[in-house]
Structure 1
Amino acid sequence: MPKAYVFTRNGGPEVEALVEQDVPVPGPGELLVAVRAAGVNPVDWKLRTGYIRPGSEPQPFPTVFGSEAAGVVEGLGPGVEGFTVGDEVFGNPVTGGYAEYTLLPVAVTAHKPAGLSFADAAVLPVAAATAYDGVRQLGPAPGSTLLITGAGGGVGVFAVQLARHAGVHVIAAASAAKKDFVESLGAVHVESGPGLADRVRAAAPDGVDAIFDLVGGDTLRSVAPLLADPAKLISAGGKPLAVELGGAAVARARTAAVLDEVANLVVTGVLRTHVTATFPLSGAGEALRSVENGHARGKTVLEVDA
């Protein structure tokens, strides 16, 4: 039987397990996909702890980890058009991506370009698409200054690149260990942690025009007062707090069109995926720990054998 990496109840790493499960059956508008790669994201371990996405219902246990995946179409649900068995695709799974088989809804599934690897495609549906939606939402003008918190992580890496491509001056808040990495993307590094706001003021004496927050909590509270216009604050890391502070959550489009666009940006060289660590499905726990502990730089991917 095919394998999947799941959590059996809410809790810490102790509730995770690699299990065997039946091949899922695609419903209307769904694709059965043999997974070749799955992205690892902070939301994965947050869901394990009991976090529920706004507007979502709790999933029954065991729950398969994973919010983005790439693979090969093995079956079509009723009413599916535009896809055939054998197509290489990527998107947001409805039955979890840390698995040998998953279901992808066609509404948020795109064809994988031939010039894009499965590993690179698997990091686009959450990380790159969130960055794309957020930068588009802010619409920073060329020459303006954008502060990105959590800039060394999966979403941050794409956000820095997109903003720099638009001619924006980027202040990247990240750990000291990620200084060289974010500077290689064209950003000005400031070390995260206590005193961050003062370091941002020193790096941007003329102020910042917008903030793209990927951390939330005390970090978000500390930097929000740097803005003259609170409406220029968006967050994917502390959405309710951002609203409380006068900003907004990142407005996710969640469409196949956005996936097509970010894939094209990678193929044409505008974006680099910066997949810096890969693990087999059997190493999913180790991969999650690297992301959960905040040590991951760029994107972490699980690769599933064909």
Structure 2
Amino acid sequence: MRAYGFHQAGGRDQEAFLDVPVPEPGSGELLVRVRASGVNPGDWRLRNGEYGTVGPAVLGREVAGTVVAVGDDVTGVAPGDEVFGGCPGMVGGWAEQAIVTASFAAHRPDAVSAVDAAALPVAAGTAFDALDALDLPAGATLLVNGAGGGVGIPTVQLARARGLRVVGTASAAKQDLLAELGAVPVTGGDGVADRVRQVIDRVDGVFDLVGGDALRAVAPLTAPGHLFSVADKPLVAELGGRDVPRDRSTRVLDALAALVASGDLDPWVRTVLPFDRAGEALAQVEDGHTLGKVVLTMP
């Protein structure tokens, strides 16, 4: 079958369309005929070798499609079902057919398109898990550091759906969007902590999506136990905070799909490209020139 990935870890010159065997679903896995697949920063980082990968490998970490076959120990899913979920390890989703982890897959409701469903497992799933970990009560205030990015946009929406007040740091170009989503936008950079204090009387939790100096600047705004980051694990630990524990379960995907169906969550897919333009899609995400999610569609 046709897939898109890379020959060996490195730059964009290693990317290519590949001719690979159709994978066999193992225990706890589904084989899915892919209809749509999300594009994430983790894809180019995998190609770069940041996760220790040598290659060759097929890219893609999340898909929506039709079940073709199920492996052992899989219940509640049958061939022909429309599902979405996350892809394990090196068997990526930028392919005509892909392996999906059954425990991180869910039935796709009719009210949720394949394109929107394919954008949920990674970014929105991370946002959902972060809010579960923070466990803030309705009326509490959450600071999202880097709120205008792929994880930040669903975080703002999910937090608002839980009744939280949200302050989001972002560049000037993304502040109108944050305000539209119900957050109070604040410009990042030098003096950000003072700007946050000017618009809100307290910060009950911080979810960081930037890391480095930007994380260090906002960390004092909340108690260490309410500081989480997925962008800088060493630094957040040094500051007394934590990485976000990922659930990656059917429960999370069902909840996200229900929120999309109800209109409380927009996956914010703003770029949809055909599979033939996979390299272009990845380049857009790697260059950071996209607003919202990028999704590939299969013929």
Partner of 1:55: none
Where 1:70 maps in the other structure, the secondary structure is: strand
> Residue 186 of structure 2 contacts residue 196 of structure 2 at CA under 8 Å; is this kept in 1?
yes
Q: 1:240 aligns with which of 227, 234, 240?
A: 234
Partner of 1:210: 205
Where 2:37 maps in the other structure, the secondary structure is: strand
Q: 1:145 aligns with which of 131, 141, 144?
A: 141
- One-letter amino acid of the structure 1 residue matched with residue 130 of structure 2: G
Q: 2:272 aligns with which of 270, 278, 286?
A: 278
> Residue 166 of structure 2 contacts residue 184 of structure 2 at CA under 8 Å; is this kept in 1?
yes
Q: Does 1:20 align with 2:16?
A: no
Q: Which stretch of the first structure deviates more once superposed, 93-102 or 188-197?
A: 188-197
Where 1:134 maps in the other structure, the secondary structure is: helix
User: Within 2, Cα distance between the matches of 1:252 and 1:51?
Assistant: 19
Task: Provide, for residues 194-237 of structure 1, a one-character-per-residue CA deviation record: whole Å limited to 9, x for no partner.
Answer: 44333323333x2322101112122111211222x111101111
**Gaps (5+ residues) in structure 2?**
none
User: Within 1, Cα distance between the matches of 2:190 and 2:10?
Assistant: 29
Segments of 4+ moved more than 4 angstroms: none
> Residue 66 of structure 2 contacts residue 82 of structure 2 at CA under 8 Å; is this kept in 1?
yes
- One-letter amino acid of the structure 2 residue matched with residue 38 of structure 1: S
Where 2:109 maps in the other structure, the secondary structure is: coil
> Residue 150 of structure 1 contacts residue 215 of structure 1 at CA under 8 Å; is this kept in 2?
yes
User: Within 2, Cα distance between the matches of 1:66 and 1:160?
Assistant: 25
Partner of 1:102: 98
Kindly tell me: are residues 217 and 15 of structure 1, through their superposed partners in 2, closer, same or farther at Cα, counting changes over 3 Å?
A: farther
| Backbone CA RMSD of aligned residues | 1.6
**Gaps (5+ residues) in structure 1?**
53-57
Q: Does 1:287 align with 2:286?
A: no
> Residue 176 of structure 1 contacts residue 192 of structure 1 at CA under 8 Å; is this kept in 2?
no
Where 2:163 maps in the other structure, the secondary structure is: coil
In the TM superposition, residue 59 of structure 1 has moved relative to its aligned partner by 4.7
> TM-score of the superposition, structure 1-length normalised?
0.92
Kindly tell me: are residues 201 and 111 of structure 1, through their superposed partners in 2, closer, same or farther at Cα, counting changes over 3 Å?
A: same
Q: Identity of aligned pairs, percent?
A: 51
- One-letter amino acid of the structure 2 residue matched with residue 45 of structure 1: W
Kindly tell me: are residues 78 and 209 of structure 1, through their superposed partners in 2, closer, same or farther at Cα, counting changes over 3 Å?
A: closer
Where 2:270 maps in the other structure, the secondary structure is: strand
1:1-306 correspondence to structure 2 within 5 Å: 2-52=1-51, 58-59=52-53, 61-94=55-88, 95-204=91-200, 206-227=201-222, 229-305=223-299
Task: Provide, for residues 49-90 of structure 1, a one-character-per-residue CA deviation record: whole Å limited to 9, x for no partner.
Answer: 2222xxxxx556111111111111112223332211111111
User: Within 2, Cα distance between the matches of 1:196 and 1:167?
Assistant: 24
Count residues in correspondence: 297
> Residue 211 of structure 2 contacts residue 235 of structure 2 at CA under 8 Å; is this kept in 1?
yes
In the TM superposition, residue 140 of structure 1 has moved relative to its aligned partner by 1.9
Kindly tell me: are residues 12 and 116 of structure 1, through their superposed partners in 2, closer, same or farther at Cα, counting changes over 3 Å?
A: same
